[in-house]
Structure 1
Amino acid sequence: MNIALSRAPGTHVQGILLMCVGVACLTTNDAIAKTLTSGYSPLQILFLRNVIALPATIAIALFMRGPSALRSHRPQAHLLRGALWVGATMMFFTSFIYLELAEATALIFVAPVFITLISALFLGEEVGWRRWLAVLAGFAGVLVVIRPGGAAFQLISLLPVATALVYALLMLSARWVDPRESVWTLLVYLTGAGALLSALLVPFVWVPIRSEDLWLFAGIAFFGTAGMTMMTQAFRLAPAVIVAPLDYTGLLWATLFGWLIWRESPDAMTLLGAAIIIASGVFTILREQRQSSP
């Protein structure tokens, strides 16, 4: 029997609620990061976010899985994933300095398209013509948002796209982790590896933290950890085909935060491109779920 079918309908509702709240938390995390980039390096923001969040992440993992959650059978895989995590987050946070929050968020949603592309070209997975059309549609949506050659084009717009590519590699790299390790182990080591690797470079960009910004650093750690925890639990309670598309509600929150805090208002072309990217991503998720189900 398909595992998804064995879940009670009530858990589906819980999964949907957790996913929606988790996405809202992660978008709040992004909004705080964008606020902090006016005075701090993205690397320093990332370092403090991971250092502050690590104890809470360990506590959650111990609560959910016990001491076994802290045991890794393949630590080198986690170190590589940590490097991808640092690279993706650095690029995404840097894009906040130059781009509107909604625009950067819309472009990173092309990640499922990259996952399909990498799986087909480098991992030997079969991809049908419908999913190839979804890939083309996703990249068309990116072109609509960034408008290369137009007066509004900024080279920095490619940063969220590069972030999506590295994020896709991060997702696919989960296959290298020992199957005996739980998702909570992945979260602990991802946060820990991110803290360790960013600590190697953060002395070169460190600036003293203003007392009035302490609550913002605490907030980014809280909302980032809470968002990842709730989204992880959402996938445990409901089928991916139900909760995964809800990730795109982050664009609604990004648009709202952008307008409330910075008076940003995405233009019609950005919204059109975002709609194309989201439609491509949702189709890819649904198609993948259909093909992977028994």
Structure 2
Amino acid sequence: MCVGVACLSANDAIAKILTSGYSPLQILFLRNVIALPFTVGIALFMGGRAALRSHRPAAHLLRGGLWVGATMMFFTSFIYLPLAEATALIFVAPVFITVISALFLGEDVGWRRWLAVLAGFLGVLVIIRPGGAAFQLISLLPVATALVYALLMLSARWVDRRESVWTLLVYLTGTGALLSALIVPFVWVPLRAGDLWLFAGVALFGTAGMTMMTQAFRLAPAVIVAPLDYTGLLWATLFGWLIWRESPDAIMIFGAAIIVASGVITIRREQGQAGS
């Protein structure tokens, strides 16, 4: 899980580098197109031909749309925000999952989880500082990304239970490539030869990260591996400092700590209820 998170953090750092010359949509399209053959190969190796069979293609198409939307917003935020700040804000996704589950899916959410939800939103407010001189409207973009990502996670319930996690991985990459291909001609710019290795890196690290994190959830209880996702904040801070000399201030660190604590509490409470 930790290695997978590190790979996805490297994927984000490379994507941020590429946003200086390419549209986030073009980055997403090429990442999915390059990654698709490898994803199919991994699925065949892990699950055989059954991993390529879908019983509900429409569910995968919807998930692909959510995936494209979330990734587009997240990559766009890289243009304006430090990597660590954008990463910290997207970690509010478990909070949105709790809220959506309670308000729209009828799940029972106890007072402890509601307190964790309030703490998570407090952490967001600490980071974006609404009304202050440092406030940027663009800071809401990673928060919107977290909301769409929460919908993506919950939409997995609509996928046929006979399909494996490898099927989800293949169709998420494939539908992401298909949907982004419909729009990318309008924003396409010629590729520079020196950037080809960066696009290959996005595909490599993105695929490796998703594969290892998927495998981690298959091999160990979610209550153990899910909190390790927050190690991505350490990697984002490190990459931000090494590449762009970005240094998060004390207020941002404090807000991120609140969001991480809220997410860990939410994950543990959800798994505790599932276990009972």
TM over 0.5: yes
Give the Cα separation in 2 of the matches to 1:242 and 1:83: 30
The C-alpha deviation readout for 1:124-173, integer Å capped at 9, x for no partner, is: 00000000000000000000000000000000000000000000000000
SS of 1:126's equivalent? coil
Q: Does 1:255 align with 2:237?
A: yes
Aligned partner (choices 6, 25, 28) of residue 10 of structure 2: 28
* Deviation of the 1:237 alpha carbon: 1.1
Indicate the residue corresponding to 2:31 in structure 1. Answer: 49
* Deviation of the 1:204 alpha carbon: 0.2
Alignment of 1:48-87 (within 5 A): 48-87=30-69
Q: Does 1:147 align with 2:147?
A: no
* Deviation of the 1:236 alpha carbon: 1.0
Give the Cα separation in 1 of the matches to 2:90 and 2:79: 16
SS of 2:163's equivalent? coil
Aligned partner (choices 102, 108, 112) of residue 120 of structure 1: 102
Read off the aligned partner of 1:61 and give its amino acid letter.
A
Indicate the residue corresponding to 2:175 in structure 1. Answer: 193
The C-alpha deviation readout for 1:21-59, integer Å capped at 9, x for no partner, is: 000000000000000000000000000000000000000
The C-alpha deviation readout for 1:70-95, integer Å capped at 9, x for no partner, is: 00000000000000000000000000
Indicate the residue corresponding to 1:271 in structure 2. Answer: 253
Read off the aligned partner of 2:16 and give its amino acid letter.
K
Indicate the residue corresponding to 1:10 in structure 2. Answer: none
Indicate the residue corresponding to 1:175 in structure 2. Answer: 157
- Unpaired segments of 5 or more residues in structure 2? none
Give the Cα separation in 1 of the matches to 2:224 and 2:102: 24
Give the Cα separation in 1 of the matches to 2:36 and 2:179: 14
Read off the aligned partner of 1:114 and give its amino acid letter.
F
Indicate the residue corresponding to 1:211 in structure 2. Answer: 193
SS of 1:178's equivalent? coil
Percent of paired sites with the same residue: 87
- Unpaired segments of 5 or more residues in structure 1? 1-18
Aligned partner (choices 250, 259, 263) of residue 281 of structure 1: 263
Give the Cα separation in 1 of the matches to 2:161 and 2:52: 14
Give the Cα separation in 2 of the matches to 1:191 and 1:105: 21
SS of 1:171's equivalent? helix
Give the Cα separation in 1 of the matches to 2:116 and 2:37: 40
Cα RMSD (Å):
0.4
Q: Does 1:107 align with 2:89?
A: yes
Give the Cα separation in 2 of the matches to 1:290 and 1:195: 37
* Deviation of the 1:271 alpha carbon: 0.4
* Deviation of the 1:62 alpha carbon: 0.2
The C-alpha deviation readout for 1:92-124, integer Å capped at 9, x for no partner, is: 000000000000000000000000000000000
- Number of aligned residues: 276
TM-score by length of 2: 1.00
The C-alpha deviation readout for 1:242-287, integer Å capped at 9, x for no partner, is: 1000000000000000000000000111000000000000000011
Give the Cα separation in 2 of the matches to 1:127 and 1:287: 9
Give the Cα separation in 1 of the matches to 2:106 and 2:269: 17
